[in-house]
Amino acid sequence: MIEVELPYPPSVNNYWRHVGPRVLISRRGRAFRKVVHSTLAGLGVRPLAGKLHVHIKLHPPDRRRRDVDNALKSLLDALEHGGAYLDDGQIVKLDVEKRQPIAGGKCIVRIKAT
Q: What is the pLDDT of residues 21-31, one digit of tens each?
A: 998 999 999 99
Q: Angle formed by the axes of helices 69-82 and 27-42, to 10°?
A: 50
pLDDT bracket for residue 102 (50, 70, 90):
very high
pLDDT at 73 over 90: yes
- CA nearest to 91, candidates 66, 114, 58, 108: 114
pLDDT at 69 over 90: yes
CATH code of the domain covering residue 14: 3.30.1330.70
Domain that holds residue 95: 2-113
Contact 55, 109 (CB under 8 A): yes
Give the number of domains in the chain: 1
pLDDT of residue 98: 97
**Predicted TM-score of the model (pTM):** 0.93
Q: What is the mean pLDDT of residues 36-55?
A: 97
Q: Beta strand pairing status for 2-6 and 106-113? A: antiparallel
Q: What is the mean pLDDT of residues 23-43?
A: 95
Please, what is the end-to-end C-alpha distance for the chain in angstroms?
Answer: 10
pLDDT bracket for residue 16 (50, 70, 90):
confident
